[in-house]
Structure 1
Amino acid sequence: MAEQKKNEAFYFKIEGDGHDRFSRRFWADATSRRAYGFYGDVVVFDTTFNTNRYDLTFAPMLGVNNHGQTIVLACAFLSKETTESFVWMFEEFKKAMPGGEPKTIITDQDAAMARAISIAFPTTFHRLCIWHITSKFSVKLPHSAYKEYWREFQKVIWDTDNKDEFDAKWNIMVTKAGLTDHPWLSSMFDLRESWVPAYARQFFATGMSSSQRAEGSHGFFKQYISRRNSLMDFIIRFERALSHQRQKELVADHVDAFEMAQCILPMPMNKQTATLYTRTMFQNFEQELIQSTACFLEFKTEDASKVVFNVSERKNWETRVAEVVYVKDSDHALCSCKRFEFVGIICKHVLALFRRDHIEYMPDKYILKRWKKTAKSGLVSNANGNEIKDSADPGLLIKRSTMPQLASDVVEDALMSEEGCELLSETLKSLQVKLKLLKDGPSNNEVGGSSSQTQYMKDRKRVRCKGRSKRVTAAKEKAMKRGIRHYRECGHIGHDRRQCPRNLNTP
């Protein structure tokens, strides 16, 4: 059974298993589809969050907005974590979203997922979560080798900007640790282009090198969703969580629209950039600008096409040197640290060059639109050329700007007398209880029994998903769980046939 419904407000597709039970479902509302048009360059995909009583795999596709906040781009329920299921989901994702494939997708180390990405997103850079890989060093390596050499491995992984430098230092490390023939380390070295910063930093990823943003999103959704939820419960509670997440984005938009970022350094480029970047991204830029004052430039070489500088900085009692290349024809500066390519914020090394040359205004090409306050300006159209309009309530922004003033006026009036303070306190306590009940929503029985929309397909049987196996129980623990022994022939408890007092004297 297959059903698809598509319009400007919502996109979803459901597929069943042939027994009136759905096996997978994909959905994305207009707000998410529109957001992909602005922030669809980087996607984080994770399937480790168990959210319902049927153990269906919840598979959200997450992105990052211009405030650096996590946003939901699309979601799916999958009964199996196979290559075929992932390909189905990614193909539906491409149908729903404007703008084609993402530039980068970040996942954990899952073979089925990797094969599906290579099939559905052939031009997308697949980045492996560096946290999942580095956290396995303590398990995969011999204990003595890990204890002695882990810090040196960390320096090799994180503190090298050059590919050749990383390869040389890695080979020295594995030889020094006596792990030249270690199979897991060898396999990780073969995959280095997918996770090592020296190799992967050249691909834009909004500064993310791991899927921990997805882990943080799981913690947020757990405030609203539990494994006891039925599918209808999940949809209602998920929508409530999504509304709360989008409300935070509206608040950040409001702050950027009505509050000017404060400039600390008396530089014209600083003030000009503050009017373009969102507050969060300006703070990142400002940090780079401050650190650029501690960088020292040294002329290296020059020819007809470019000028090369060494930029040194003192960090953790060590001097690190980056190479900045100024290309004359394109009037563009490139740095070996690849921060601009990776994060989208110009690095301190290039800013040190700008300061030396007394450049007053930041060139527009160094300010990405996705980090600007105006990132969401412009039209987003679907495959048919129709505009995708935001389904979020625009009145939330107005309510958020008017309600604080109303609350402030009420507090000021109440403070005029003791009776007013007591009345306001009692009213607020009563209101707090009512709002909590409204937030928690109806009970499971009320939600599941009152909706006729849940009758399209039956609930799924419980399934065990990959990566969620039960803990192995020891034999002693099994014996304890069986309960107190009971010997039926004598009618007493606490012993078996061999320990029965009636049989102790029997040969």
Structure 2
Amino acid sequence: MLGVNNHGQTIVLAYAFLSKETTESFVWMFEEFKKAMPGGEPKTIITDQDAAMAIAISIAFPTTFHRLCIWHITSKFSVKLPRDAYKEYWREFQKAIWDTDNKDEFDAKWNTVVTKAGLTNHPWLSSMFDLRESWVPAYARQFFAAGMSSSQRAEGSHGFFKQYISRRNSLMDFIIRFERALSHQREKELVADHVDAFEVAQCLLPMPMNKQMATLYTRTMFQKFEQELIQSTACFLELKTEDACKVVFNVSERKNWETRVAEVIYVKDSDHASCSCKRFEFVGIICKHILPLFRRDQIEYMPDKYILKRWKKTAKSGLVSDANGNEIKDCSDPGLLIKRSTMSRLASDVVEDALMSEEGCELLSETLKSLQVKLKSKGVMGAKEKAMKRGIKHCRECGHIGHDRRQCPAFNTP
């Protein structure tokens, strides 16, 4: 199972070996996932159209929005549709799918193109229309998914891991190689953490809000926000209606020789703005259509409610508990984390090489035991030296810290 971290990177949340792809197997896997992951059920899960997995998700994650991969569906149009119909009407299908912001608009455009193409009774198209709430953006944007609408991140991840594993690997070889690949992936995340901790992103626009977000967001997510901010300068705000409860604006934007209009609603009592494009709900970043409203009202700094913690540099800070309620502690020093990742990667490579022969295993085992003794000895000496510098008592009889020779239990034992 894959996810997205605060840098926008694809990360492995969990993996499991299944002997068969049945509903029962998937339910077991999801239940184990819930035990390992704090924070409750995920908001969204994206999969292909596997029937057994769909049933398992409804059982294990009843409150999770199950979204079907839009790439898997749209890639089938060329196969499912008659050749001439696909060639002539595919672009119109694309516009209906991607260029509509609300459900009614999608339904109208879909029915228009289906009628024009003479495909009103096409069984596959009819079945996809019946499933539209699970894959069409206009129906699914209100569910947070970190901007993902397909499982292409999974496809890319498969390509990454194929560099390390093959069908010829034994189970033990597979696990070692897979862990090695994971360590490489984690190292990229640690490097990104290190960059965000010690480097400040450069702002293209000299605005207080831009500088504020550069300080809060990770570099990758700040770039996404800044792109929205830049594009917002080409959006024009126009009052549509106003009453005692809310104000409605039309926000027009000229793009690719076509004018697109979004609807922004500002609710007075809650002091909250929302947009028909649903970018904030879907991606977690304020959209270019709401930003002109902020400029109109001379709001220089982004209100906290529009800044998601999951995109912040501090996203990983906070208390995390295990199944028993115990705090899970981790090192927060980026420098130490990178050192640990680098050494883990080296150790994984050495273990893999050693497993090629019995002699290699014996040599590595002996070397590690010898190294462990040296490290422990060095740790004790270091503690003694620090204690002596601080004036802490050090016993010459037993070598321990906290008492001297006269108070040593070993020396004074009759």
**TM class, shorter-length:** 0.7 to 0.9
| TM-superposition CA deviations, 1:290-343 (whole Å, max 9, x none) | 000000111100000000100000111110000000110011100000000000
Cα distance change, pair 505–194 in 1 and its aligned pair in 2 (3 A): farther
Cα distance change, pair 220–391 in 1 and its aligned pair in 2 (3 A): farther
The one of 288, 303, 306 aligned to 1:366: 306
Cα distance change, pair 151–69 in 1 and its aligned pair in 2 (3 A): same
The one of 145, 157, 176 aligned to 1:205: 145
Cα distance between partner residues in 1 of 2:351 and 2:382: 61
Alpha carbons 1:251, 1:397 under 8 Å: kept: no
Cα distance between partner residues in 2 of 1:486 and 1:402: 36
What's the C-alpha RMSD, in Å, of the aligned pairs? 24.2
Cα distance change, pair 387–410 in 1 and its aligned pair in 2 (3 A): closer
Cα distance change, pair 121–497 in 1 and its aligned pair in 2 (3 A): same
Cα distance change, pair 245–121 in 1 and its aligned pair in 2 (3 A): same
| TM-superposition CA deviations, 1:31-66 (whole Å, max 9, x none) | xxxxxxxxxxxxxxxxxxxxxxxxxxxxxx111000
Alpha carbons 2:183, 2:344 under 8 Å: kept: no
Alpha carbons 2:208, 2:301 under 8 Å: kept: yes
Cα distance change, pair 421–224 in 1 and its aligned pair in 2 (3 A): closer
Cα distance between partner residues in 1 of 2:7 and 2:84: 44
Cα distance change, pair 319–326 in 1 and its aligned pair in 2 (3 A): same
Cα distance change, pair 485–420 in 1 and its aligned pair in 2 (3 A): closer
Cα distance between partner residues in 2 of 1:278 and 1:159: 29
How far is the alpha carbon of 1:194 from its aligned partner? 0.4
Percent identity (aligned): 92
How far is the alpha carbon of 1:273 from its aligned partner? 1.1
| TM-superposition CA deviations, 1:349-397 (whole Å, max 9, x none) | 0011112222110001111000000000011002210122349997654
How far is the alpha carbon of 1:496 from its aligned partner? 100
Confirm whether residue 184 of structure 1 aligns to residue 124 of structure 2: yes
Q: Point out the structure with the larger strand share.
A: 1
How far is the alpha carbon of 1:88 from its aligned partner? 1.2
Alpha carbons 1:268, 1:361 under 8 Å: kept: yes
Cα distance change, pair 170–492 in 1 and its aligned pair in 2 (3 A): farther
Alpha carbons 1:254, 1:397 under 8 Å: kept: no
Confirm whether residue 255 of structure 1 aligns to residue 162 of structure 2: no
Cα distance between partner residues in 2 of 1:133 and 1:161: 19
Cα distance between partner residues in 2 of 1:186 and 1:289: 40
Cα distance between partner residues in 2 of 1:245 and 1:425: 27
| TM-superposition CA deviations, 1:142-185 (whole Å, max 9, x none) | 11100100000000000000101111111111111100000000
Cα distance change, pair 82–308 in 1 and its aligned pair in 2 (3 A): same
Alpha carbons 2:201, 2:214 under 8 Å: kept: yes
Cα distance between partner residues in 2 of 1:383 and 1:122: 20
How far is the alpha carbon of 1:500 from its aligned partner? 104
Number of equivalenced pairs = 413
For residue 28 of structure 2, give the secondary structure of its aligned residue in structure 1.
Answer: helix
Alpha carbons 1:296, 1:312 under 8 Å: kept: yes
Query: TM-score with structure 2 length normalisation?
Result: 0.81
Query: TM-score with structure 1 length normalisation?
Result: 0.66
Cα distance between partner residues in 1 of 2:117 and 2:138: 22
For residue 17 of structure 2, give the secondary structure of its aligned residue in structure 1.
Answer: strand
Cα distance between partner residues in 1 of 2:395 and 2:81: 51
Alpha carbons 1:247, 1:396 under 8 Å: kept: no
Alpha carbons 2:69, 2:151 under 8 Å: kept: yes
Q: Point out the structure with the larger helix share.
A: 2
Cα distance change, pair 174–481 in 1 and its aligned pair in 2 (3 A): farther
How far is the alpha carbon of 1:248 from its aligned partner? 0.5
For residue 81 of structure 1, give the secondary structure of its aligned residue in structure 2.
Answer: coil
Stretches of 4+ aligned residues off by more than 3 angstroms: 389-436, 469-501, 504-507
Question: Bigger relative contact order, structure 1 or 2, given CA contacts below 8 A and separation 6+?
Answer: 1
How far is the alpha carbon of 1:111 from its aligned partner? 0.8
Cα distance between partner residues in 1 of 2:137 and 2:259: 19
Unaligned runs of 5+ in 2: none
Cα distance between partner residues in 2 of 1:65 and 1:410: 29
Cα distance change, pair 506–64 in 1 and its aligned pair in 2 (3 A): closer
Cα distance between partner residues in 2 of 1:219 and 1:104: 23
For residue 362 of structure 1, give the secondary structure of its aligned residue in structure 2.
Answer: coil
Cα distance between partner residues in 2 of 1:381 and 1:141: 51
How far is the alpha carbon of 1:415 from its aligned partner? 40
